[in-house]
Amino acid sequence: MARLSRLSIAAYPHHVVQRGNNGQAIFLSDQDRLQMLDLLESHAQLCEVAVHAYVLMDNHFHLLLTPRTADGLSRLMQAIGRRYVRYFNDRHGRTGTLWEGRYKSTLIEAETYLLACMTYIDLNPVRAGLVGQARDYPWSSHAHYAGLRGDRLVTPHPLYWGLGNTPFAREAAYTRLVQEGLSLSQQQALTESVLKGWALGSPAFVEELQKKTPRRLSKSRAGRPVSKSAAV
């Protein structure tokens, strides 16, 4: 069966993951991670893509992005993919592929899943057993939203601004969200959607979104997205 084309629609948030080939490490040092962040910052501006959240793990990374144009996401991922591989191979004296095929992505309903997706990304190092709390991991956007440091790469989504009327209120509210964590159903929905490429949201959202693209958005015509009750 032919694989689905990637789903990318301007002005909607997209959850993206890219993994190392055969699970190999794609970051071997802090310098590698800094290089990736520099590439993301420069090319996100060029490609008109807002970076809402990120985490750089040893063998993969997650991004939460909103492209302003239909091809902005693909242009960004192609640019940083090519340039980072060239940097990585030169720096570490290697040749050949680095990525595990195409990056994986999905489009999410902001009102239902955006803050949950940010939390999912922040908690990735915690789930992996690397740190006890999201605030202890230096290679994610969590510190920016928790008020621990500024991050020029990050563009907060309007839903984050809605968490409070002052920076302190927003930071405290977001920190509480991350500390509360996600339900198992939320984790499964976010994981499955990005790996399989199905749009993630309510049935009404998927139905309305289907009008904007000929690309199939769910497993069946009606779709089986996780209900809004899964995101609390």
**3-class SS string, the chain:** CCCCCCCCCCCCCEEEEEEEHHHCCCCCCHHHHHHHHHHHHHHHHHCCEEEEEEEECCCEEEEEEEECCCCHHHHHHHHHHHHHHHHHHHHHCCCCCCECCCCEEEEECHHHHHHHHHHHHHCHHHHCCCCCCHHHCCCECHHHHCCCCCCCCCCCCHHHHCCCCCHHHHHHHHHHHHHHCCCHHHHHHHHHHHHHCCCECCHHHHHHHHCCCCCCCCCCCCCCCCCHHHCC
Fold adopted by 14-230: Alpha-Beta Plaits (3.30.70)
pLDDT at 230: 34
Domain map (residue ranges) of the chain: 14-230
72-100 per-position pLDDT tens digit: 999 999 999 999 999 999 999 999 999 99
pLDDT in tens, the chain (232 residues): 456 677 899 999 999 999 999 999 999 999 999 999 999 999 999 999 999 999 999 999 999 999 999 999 999 999 999 999 999 999 999 999 999 999 999 999 999 999 999 999 999 999 999 999 999 999 999 999 999 999 999 999 999 999 999 999 999 999 999 999 999 999 999 999 999 999 999 999 999 999 999 888 987 644 444 433 333 2
